[in-house]
Structure 1
C-alpha cells in the first residue's frame, strides 16, 4: 500500500465489528469517516498523505467494506454516529479530530452532538444539506443501486467508468473491487436519511473549530446553504475547492490538500 500505511484491524464497538485502516501512527489522531458507498480502502490515496501529519484511522462504516453487515443491523444516522463515539472510547483516545466526507460528515456532526469529549476539530467535506422540507440531494438513488447490483455480479474498471467517467484507472479498479461490499439496504437507509433526517438541528451546537470544505462544481452545497450554516454557527469556516465535484479528492486531490493545508497551516507532500 503506502509508506504511511501501518495495518488494518477490527474492533467490536456498539454491538458490531468495525474495521479500520491505520496510517502514520504519529501525531494528533484523526478519524476519517467515508461517504455512502466508499469502503475505507478507497480512501487509501488520501489517507497515505494524511498519515504524514496525523495518526489516521479510516473506518469502514457498518454495512461497508469489512465491517459488520446484514439484515440484523440498523444503518441509521444515530447508530452510525454512535459507532464513531464508541470507537473513540474503545481506543481510549484522549484527543482526536473527525473528518467526514458526504454522509460521513453528517455522521461526524451527529457524533459531536452525542459526545464531544476529546474532540478538538471537525473537517466536514461537502456534506449533503438536504433534509425534511429541503432541496433534495442532487444524486439519485438508482445510480447507487444499479452500480452496486452490477458489482455484486462482478464488474471491472471499464464497467465502473460508466458510473465514474472522470476517475483514474486506479480509482476505478478499487471501486469496482470493493463496491460489492456495500450492503444495499444500508445504502438505501443512508440515502433516505439524507432526505428525512434533520442534521441542521445540530450545527449550531458545534463548539470546536470546524472547516466546511465545499466542492465548487458539486452542486451539493450552494451559496445560500453556506450562508445558512454560517448564520447558524459563525465559527464554521467555509473553504472552496473550485475545480472539484462532490468527490473532492477524486476530482482535485491537490486542491483538497491545498485547502486543508492552508486551513491547518500545514504542508502535505
Structure 2
C-alpha cells in the first residue's frame, strides 16, 4: 500500500455528519464518489482510491454507521436513507455530475441514489451488488460472519485474529480491517443485511438512465448467470464485465483484474 495520505473531511448533509476521504486528482477534474460495502470504512478502500486518483478526483465515503460518520441508535440505516446521504453529500460539496462507484451494498446505494432523480449523477460503476431480495435466493454470506467479527473487533483484535474471517487477504489488508472494523455499528450492519433480502433492486436496474457498468466477480457467488440474464433483459444498455479469478471483494483478490475490467468507463 502507498504511504500517500488523502485529505479527510466532514460535511453535514442529509441531517448527519458525513466523513469522507478526498484523493485529489493528479490528472483530471472528473469527480467520482466511491461508496464502500457493508463493513468497509472509507480508509479500507484507500488502495483503490489512490489508483483511481491518477485519472479522477475521488471522494470515498464513510457510510452512516461506519467509520467516522454519524452513528447510533437514532438513525435510519435503510437503503433509501443511505442513498439520500449520497445525494446530500454531492450537493453539499457542490460536485457537478459526479460518477458513482459502489461496491456490494455501496452499489445498491449508488443505484437507489441515481434513480431518485435528485442529482445529475453522470455514470455508475456497480461492483458485484447483492441481488438477493423477496422471493430470490439468499445472499451467500451469512449474518454471523459480520456480527461475530465486529464483536471481536469491539474488544480488540489483531491481523492474525482477523485472518480466520478473511483468510486470503494480505497482512496489510488484515491489519487495516482489524483496526477499523470496530467502527461498524452492529445494528446498521444487521439492517443493511436484512435489506439485502427485503429490498428488491431489480426495478432500480430497469430505471437507470445513466450509463452503467455491472462488474461481476467470477468466484463471488453473488450474481449468477440467471441474474445477469434478467438484468440484461431489464436494461440492455448496462455494460457487463467479469473478473474471473476474484471473489466478491474484487480488488482485494485481483487488483489488476479490477482495473482492467473497469477500463476507461468512468473517464468516457
Say whether the fold is shared (TM-score over 0.5): yes
Q: TM-score range by the shorter chain?
A: over 0.9
CA contact (8 A) 2:37 2:104 kept: yes
Q: Counterpart of 2:175?
A: 173
Runs of 4+ in structure 1 off by over 6 angstroms are none
Q: Take 1:251 and 1:226, find their aligned partners in 2: how far apart are those partners?
A: 21
Post-superposition shift, 1:264?
5.4
Q: Structure 1 residues 116 and 238, CA, compared in 2 at 3 Å: closer, same or farther?
A: farther
Q: Counterpart of 1:10?
A: 10
Post-superposition shift, 1:71?
0.4
Q: Take 2:6 and 2:39, find their aligned partners in 1: how far apart are those partners?
A: 24
SS, match of residue 119 in structure 1: coil
SS, match of residue 195 in structure 2: helix
Alpha-carbon deviations, 1:208-249, whole Å to 9, x = none?
111100000000001110000010000101100000000000
**What TM-score results when the alignment is normalised by the length of structure 2?**
0.96
Q: Take 2:11 and 2:162, find their aligned partners in 1: how far apart are those partners?
A: 31
Structure 1 unaligned spans of 5+: none
Q: Take 1:114 and 1:61, find their aligned partners in 2: how far apart are those partners?
A: 18
Q: Take 1:189 and 1:46, find their aligned partners in 2: how far apart are those partners?
A: 27
Q: Take 1:265 and 1:52, find their aligned partners in 2: how far apart are those partners?
A: 11
Alpha-carbon deviations, 1:85-122, whole Å to 9, x = none?
00011111122100000000000110011125321110
Q: Take 1:201 and 1:152, find their aligned partners in 2: how far apart are those partners?
A: 37
CA contact (8 A) 2:125 2:266 kept: no
1:205 corresponds to which of 190, 207, 215: 207
1:193 corresponds to which of 195, 201, 205: 195
Q: Counterpart of 2:72?
A: 70
Q: Counterpart of 1:58?
A: 60
Q: Counterpart of 2:145?
A: 143
Q: Counterpart of 2:216?
A: 214
Q: Structure 1 residues 98 and 4, CA, compared in 2 at 3 Å: closer, same or farther?
A: farther
1:82 corresponds to which of 59, 81, 84: 84
2:227 corresponds to which of 225, 228, 235: 225
Q: Take 1:6 and 1:188, find their aligned partners in 2: how far apart are those partners?
A: 30
Question: Paired residues, what number?
Answer: 266
Post-superposition shift, 1:2?
4.5
Q: Take 1:219 and 1:23, find their aligned partners in 2: how far apart are those partners?
A: 31
SS, match of residue 128 in structure 1: coil
Post-superposition shift, 1:5?
4.2
Q: Take 2:52 and 2:4, find their aligned partners in 1: how far apart are those partners?
A: 9
- Kindly report the root-mean-square deviation, in angstroms, between the aligned alpha carbons of the 2 structures: 1.5
CA contact (8 A) 1:4 1:24 kept: no
Greater displacement, 108-117 / 178-187? 108-117
Q: Counterpart of 1:128?
A: 130
